[in-house]
Structure 1
Amino acid sequence: MMNKFNNKLASFLFLLPCLIFLSIFVFMPLFKNFYNSFFEYSVFSATKDFVGLDNFKLLLADKKIKIALLNNIRYAIISVFFQVGLGLVLAAVLEHHFLRKVAPFFRVTFFMPVMISISVIALLFGFIYNPQIGILNSFLELIGLDNLSRAWLGNSSTAIYAVIAMSQWQSIGYIMMLFIVAIQRISKELYEAAELDGAGKIKQFFYITVPQVKETLFINTLLTITGSMLVFNEPYILTNGGPGVSSMTLAVYMYQSGFFKDRMGYASTIAITIFIITAILAIIQIRISHTGKD
């Protein structure tokens, strides 16, 4: 009986540093932020004015919130298709025995954008999207599609998609590497048996690769969707949510509300909304996919 108690005590002591860390840096700020959402105050004010649910009522009627949420949804849908979908395809292609000799070079090439600072990447894409000297418009003119040339970041209909495109270019290499690790763990005997049965590469991909990496697929999809709801750096650096509010995201609007408009209570309300949406999406995905247990 004493040994069992000592084992439980030892387990608790090993977990204690992690619990303290989570309490200080995750749970306490979360509860504090929820508490602040019932007040309106300035970042430097000594007092807080209790407003109850007024911030939440204002949020529901705020048109900028609807635009920002729609942009986050666009971000999530496009990111799942390109980062997760295309990342899995690239990983499967690079793990094919035909490309084994040159695969390390392409892995490094695709992963390099992940290691570059977002500020540097934003500067690079700022030049690419430049309406006068940008590479993108110059390329369109070169191939006879100059009618498609435009100010990509200055046009309200294309700004958000230009920001999303930059994000895909940077992040796809990270997702690809996670899939490569998962694919390398698949038994080669499965592919050999499929070849003996006459299955082509496409059938092997859908009937062997995809089912065998479903746990990694679930994790990557969850990380991508969660990241899309929290995205801040890309739209803030490239467009600051503009022109107007066309490329605004929830995180950018939260930052502007708190530090530019000095409405910290409303910013806390937006932060709580982001948390609730992200948590709901994660729960729905776990329930639908029936994965994540491993």
Structure 2
Amino acid sequence: MTPTATGVNRPSFAWAAPAAVFFGLFALLPLVLVAVLSFAHWDGLSAPHFTGLDNWRTLFDDPVMLKSLWLSVLLTALGVAVQTPLSILLGVWAAGHQRNRAVLSAIYFIPLLLSAAAVSVLWRAVLDPNFGVPAHATWLFGEGNLFGEQGSAIGVLVFVSAWQFTPLHTLIYQGAARAVPRVLYQAAQIDGAGRVRQFFHITLPQLRNSVITSTILMVVGGLTTFDTVLILTQGGPGTDTTISAYYMYQKAFKNFDYGTASTIGVLLVLVATVISLIVVRLSGYDRMRSTMEGL
């Protein structure tokens, strides 16, 4: 144990060593190797050879890659816009004491028990244009092929992702809502504030840090979405839903161009990091922490 200036003993670094070694071997080391491969050409069989910035130049001259990056950002933004308000409302509701709340919450959280592949297979069958619901409800779905146009295909991807992952973010907001001091609501009731005013003036400000955490998780998850696209649309129609993670898969395991695939992976890491930093910066979390540390 290491004593601090306040006299409180803190665990030494030795306690974190196993986790640090695990993180280094299975997170940092693969990331470094992928970064190295982004400057080389490798087909998976022969020895890789250094090509400098050729992979990066080729990547930014590739219209499919630029389109896939835009689609990744678009799907991520739509996911945040759809899942955030739903998660906040459901999380605040689940934190209450309504009748049958526990049973309904348990049913609602079932999608969290399923893998993304299983969820994608389920909705692919449900939305199949030949045998699924759209084939028997043409009055609602028109021709019934939701995967035949870019707009409807993107809508399906956003819906399926929201159906599976909204419960996860709901759990985050549920825990945060339960941690809000009850005295704040009691004081608001004395002042005559109704439920809506309490929500916007007490609950939402208290959920600020949870919003940051949830948004960053959505950004990282959205930019790295792969299996949902693979099973539901396979990047189609054409390349209209070919996001960067799926394009990376095509380059690596169909074209055996691991150098370009590694470049796409590094680019996704950089984009996710930049967006996450922007979210934290715009939220004012760093300024708030500095103010609290100065008190």
Q: 1:201 to 1:31 in 2, by over 3 A?
A: same
Deviation at 1:211, TM superposition (A): 0.7
- State the alpha-carbon separation in 1 of the partners of residues 215 and 188 from structure 2: 27
Partner residue, 2:216: 222
* Equivalent residue for 2:203, pick from 204, 209, 224: 209
Letter in 2 for 1:112: I
The percent of aligned pairs where both chains have the same amino acid is 27
Deviation at 1:254, TM superposition (A): 0.6
Deviation at 1:10, TM superposition (A): 6.8
Deviation at 1:231, TM superposition (A): 0.9
Deviation at 1:128, TM superposition (A): 2.3
Partner residue, 1:91: 91
Partner residue, 1:61: 61
Any conservation in 1 of the 2:37–2:262 contact (CA below 8 Å)?
Answer: yes
- State the alpha-carbon separation in 1 of the partners of residues 93 and 256 from structure 2: 50
Partner residue, 1:82: 82
Alignment of 1:154-169 (within 5 A): 154-169=148-163
- State the alpha-carbon separation in 1 of the partners of residues 83 and 61 from structure 2: 33
Letter in 2 for 1:121: V
Alignment of 1:203-282 (within 5 A): 203-282=197-276
- State the alpha-carbon separation in 2 of the partners of residues 158 and 70 from structure 1: 17
Q: 1:165 to 1:9 in 2, by over 3 A?
A: closer
- State the alpha-carbon separation in 2 of the partners of residues 138 and 192 from structure 1: 52
Partner residue, 2:30: 29
**Equivalent position SS for 1:158:** helix
Deviation at 1:140, TM superposition (A): 5.5
- State the alpha-carbon separation in 1 of the partners of residues 16 and 91 from structure 2: 36
- 1:29-83 deviation per Cα after TM superposition (whole angstroms, max 9, x unaligned): 11111111111111122x2232110100011111111221122112211211222
Structure 1: where are the runs of 5+ without partners? Answer: none
- 1:137-171 deviation per Cα after TM superposition (whole angstroms, max 9, x unaligned): 53462xxx45x443112323321221221111111
Letter in 2 for 1:63: P
- State the alpha-carbon separation in 2 of the partners of residues 22 and 95 from structure 1: 34
**Equivalent position SS for 2:109:** helix
Alignment of 1:59-138 (within 5 A): 59-97=59-97, 100-136=98-134, 138=136
Q: 1:30 to 1:136 in 2, by over 3 A?
A: same
Any conservation in 2 of the 1:156–1:244 contact (CA below 8 Å)?
Answer: no
Q: 1:93 to 1:14 in 2, by over 3 A?
A: closer
- State the alpha-carbon separation in 1 of the partners of residues 184 and 11 from structure 2: 43
- State the alpha-carbon separation in 2 of the partners of residues 202 and 3 from structure 1: 48
Letter in 2 for 1:40: H
Letter in 1 for 2:151: S
Alignment of 1:7-46 (within 5 A): 11-45=12-46
- State the alpha-carbon separation in 2 of the partners of residues 218 and 254 from structure 1: 28
| 1:174 and 2:175 are equivalent in the alignment | no
**Equivalent position SS for 2:203:** helix
**Equivalent position SS for 2:236:** coil
Deviation at 1:95, TM superposition (A): 3.2
Partner residue, 2:180: 186
- State the alpha-carbon separation in 2 of the partners of residues 32 and 248 from structure 1: 25
Q: 1:96 to 1:10 in 2, by over 3 A?
A: closer
- State the alpha-carbon separation in 1 of the partners of residues 30 and 131 from structure 2: 45
Q: 1:9 to 1:130 in 2, by over 3 A?
A: closer
Structure 1 segments, 4+ long, off by >4 Å, are 7-10
- State which drifts further: 279-288 or 117-126: 117-126
Deviation at 1:220, TM superposition (A): 0.4
- 1:151-205 deviation per Cα after TM superposition (whole angstroms, max 9, x unaligned): 1123233212212211111111111111111111112221122122221221111
- State the alpha-carbon separation in 2 of the partners of residues 278 and 130 from structure 1: 33
- 1:269-294 deviation per Cα after TM superposition (whole angstroms, max 9, x unaligned): 00110011011111111111122759
Q: 1:253 to 1:190 in 2, by over 3 A?
A: same
Letter in 1 for 2:18: P
Q: How many residues of Structure 1 are paired with residues of Structure 2 in the alignment?
A: 284
- State which drifts further: 24-33 or 249-258: 24-33
